[in-house]
Every structure is written in C-alpha cells, then in structure tokens.
Chain A
Amino acid sequence: MAIFLSAAFSYILSPIVKFFEVRGIKRSYTVVIMYLAGSIFFIFFVFFIIKIASFDIESFINNWPSYYSNFEEIIKSFISKIEKVFPIISQFNIADKILSFLIELPIYLINYIPYGIFIFIIPFISFFMLMSGAKMFDNVITKVNPRYIEIIFYMVSRIDKTLGRYLRAILSEATVIFIIAFFGLLIMNIKYFSILAFLAGISPIVPYLGAIVAGLVSAIFAYVQYGDIYVVLKVVVFFIAIRFFDDWFLQPYIMKKNVDMNPALVVLALMAGGEIAGFWGVIFAVPVLCIIREIVFILIELQTENFFDKSYKVYVPYT
C-alpha cells in the first residue's frame, strides 16, 4: 500500500519537477529543493495542525463515554419516534446497530493512527521515484516494439490528462475546504474543530457521501456540545455554503475538475472499491474509474477505426 500511495504522491508532484526540468534545472536539484521547501512548510504549518488534531483526538477519546451517553439518549428517542410511525422498522434493531458502532468509534480511530507513519514513509519512497523520474517508464518503453510507441504515448497522454487533472484538482480542493472548515468551525467555537475540518477536507475524495458525512458529523457534535438547534443550523448552513462554494466556484472556475463522470457510475465505483479493498478501495475508487474509463474510450476508438474507410490519396510530403 505504501508503494502504491508513494507512486500516487510522486505522480501528483511530478508536474512541479517537470516545470523546473524543462526550464533547465536538473531533476535531482529540483527534487531536493522541493523536499527542503516541503519540510519547512511541514514543520511550520502541518505540524502545527497535527499538534492541535492530536490534542483533539486525545480529549475526544477521553470524553467519549460522556458523549456516548448523550448520543445514546438522542438516538434512542429519535428511533423510537420513527418506530411509532413505521412499526416495521423495529425488527431491524437500528438503534442497537448504531450504538454498537458508536461505542467502538474511538477504537476505529486508534486503529487508523498507525497509518500516520505513512506521512514519513510515502515522501521517502516518492523521493527516489521522483529522482529516477521518467527513466522507469523509458526502460519499459525500450522493451516495446517501436511501432506501438505512438499509440502507447497517446494512451499515456490521455490517461495522464484525465487522471492528473482529477488528482491535482482533488488535492487543491481538499486543501481549500480544509482551511475554510478549520477557521469556520474555530470561529463558531465547535469542539474538535480540527478533526471535523480534516473530515471536511478529505470529503471530496469520496464524492457525495464525504460531504454528507462531514456535515452530519459536525452537526451532531455541535448539538452534543451546545444542545441548541440554532447552533446546529449554523453548522449545517456553513457546510451547505462550503458545498455551493465548491460546486459553483472551486470546481468549475479554479480546478476545471469536470471529468464528466456519471454520478451513478461514481457511486457504483465507490461501492465496488469498498467491497474489494475496504477503506483504501473507497479512496482510490474514482482515480481508478478515471483510468478504466479512458482505456475503454480508447479501445472503443481503436475498434471504430477498424471499420474506417481506408480509401485515400497519398502524396509525398512537402517539407
């Protein structure tokens, strides 16, 4: 998994390296300078946020029993009201299922903490991947029949354009949303704002579902903290505003993330990803879908060319 994530990370960074490379700066120097700059950024900014987040996680886990009893009360009364209207629901034991998940929530969180080591491992492996650059690809290309190089580069170019645009857009989108959510929730004085902002930040990675979950969780936390529906409304409106800002401004004007993906296909890909590879499957579902979609389009294109009318005139090129 670390190798796969490192490849994705170096792929995201590669345009920066290429930008400097075609301007004459040798690859090795570009990578080293980029890593130094990244380290400074990491120390002064990300480290500061992680410090707050880790403090939040600690207090969140310590306070969980008291929050849990609040949640229990709210959920039980809510489900019993629904069951009165729709008695058939009672046989599914929804309240018990939700509560058993909630009681294990801090353990789920703790289980994901070891993945924090990826913060160090991924840039480390990516460093060497970036250093070697296109050499790995060139080594593969030399083994291919030169006649097929034109079509291989064509496929690479198309996949790179779609996937690159999507990945870089999603990363910028996640950063912008994280910053907005971080300061928004901080101003509203919502507890665990850094965890909630992180959740909001990663929400674009899982389309549709991510945004709903981030908004819903934040609203529940606001209700548990203040017990005031007015604050909950404020949080909900804030997240709806982020959504509109994202859909109407960030995506179309700044990121041009439009990959014309059918929403039903995206949801299907998310479900399939989750089924095949769990958490990481969901994270990589849309990028993999981008690749598969582009390959299918190229295959259809190639298939269509077989029926091409090949009657044409030939003339010697004038150069």
Chain B
Amino acid sequence: MIFENVFNKVYDREVLAKVKFLSTVSLFKGISKKDLLYLLENIYENKYRKGDIVFEEGEVGRALFIVYSGTIGLYKKNDKNNIIYKVKPGEFVGEMAIFEEMPRTLSAVAIEDTSVFMFYKTDLESIITSKPKIAAYLNYNLAKILSQRLRGYIKGEKEIVE
C-alpha cells in the first residue's frame, strides 16, 4: 500500500500512455518499448490551438508530425475551407520531409486543439549512427508506408492534384 502510494507519486503515468501510443503508430511498428523511450527522448512535443496553421504549402518541410490528440486538416493553399484530408490521432503527416527537405505539398491547420510529436530529419540522421537497430525499423516502416502510397497512386485510388 505504502509502496503503491510512493510509486503513484513518483511515477508519471502520462509517459506510459505516450509510449503505448507510440507503439500503435505504424512508423514505429516492431520497435521495442526500451527503444520507444529513446525515441521519446529525441522527439519534440507541441500543442496547437484550434485554427493554428501547422505548416503551409510551399514551405520547406523539416519534420514529420504525428498526431497525439486532436485533428489536423490538410488543404490546398488559399482554400482553407476545403479540407482534403483529416489526420487523426495515431496518423502522421510530412513523412517525405524525413528523407528530403522539399517544399510541402499541402497546408495543414489544427481543426481542434491538437497535440503532436515532431520528428526531424536531423534526429533520424543521428539515430542512424547512434541506434542503427531503431533506424533499421524506422526506415523499413517508412519504406513500407511510401510503397503503399505509391501503390495507391498507381492504382489511382487517390486524387492527384497537379
């Protein structure tokens, strides 16, 4: 009983929830809990209020955004009212920025109060040298995700906007 009380005082249960959340993200599939903790050390957390612009089309992307809570809406520049896709908790946006810092292809807005994890290309680069095992999983998962998207593109499942 005393031990449980002390444990509850010292231990931050929110961290456990974050690690559990990260383990459900497809990008981190297969990564052990210990390595997820290392990742948690190396990613940035940020909160956006409803209506905040997360990034704009044409800006050079540097980070991948994983939605922890809330929703991010994607839209074409100057057409904020026409949301093309809603990024829900557990989903992520901007994975191409992890490989190459190229201009964003869409703009993003926080549809409600949203909490995100930001994972930068520079962090992936340092993980490649310091923790190759995590990097191998990340790159494998990213390759799978990009492959799925390419398949979708070829099949014409998704709309292509020139």
Contact = CB atoms under 8 A, between A and B. Distances in A.
Please indicate whether A and B come from the same complex rather than being unrelated chains: yes
Interface of A: 18-19, 21-26, 29, 141, 146-147, 149-151, 153-154, 157-158, 161, 305, 308, 310, 312-319
Nearest to B34: A23
A18 to B, nearest CB: 6
A154 B53 CA distance: 17
Contacts, number: 109
Contact of B12 (A25, A141, A149, A316): A25
Contacts of B11: 24-26
Contact of A316 (B53, B55, B161): B161
Given A24-B12, A149-B46, A150-B55, A317 B93 contact: yes
A154 B122 contact: yes
Nearest to B151: A318
A314 B105 contact: yes
A153 B46 contact: yes
Contacts of B92: 319
Nearest to B91: A319
Given A18-B41, A154-B63, A314-B162, A147 B55 contact: yes
Interface residues of B, number: 53
B134 to A, nearest CB: 14
A318 B148 contact: yes
16 contacts: A18-B41, A22-B37, A25-B10, A26-B9, A146-B52, A147-B53, A154-B63, A308-B103, A310-B58, A314-B105, A316-B159, A317-B106, A318-B148, A318-B149, A318-B153, A318-B158
B10 A29 contact: yes
A21 B122 CA distance: 22
B87 interface: yes
Given A147-B53, A315-B153, A161 B126 contact: yes
Contacts of A150: 54-55, 61-63, 118
B120 interface: yes
A260 B157 CA distance: 48
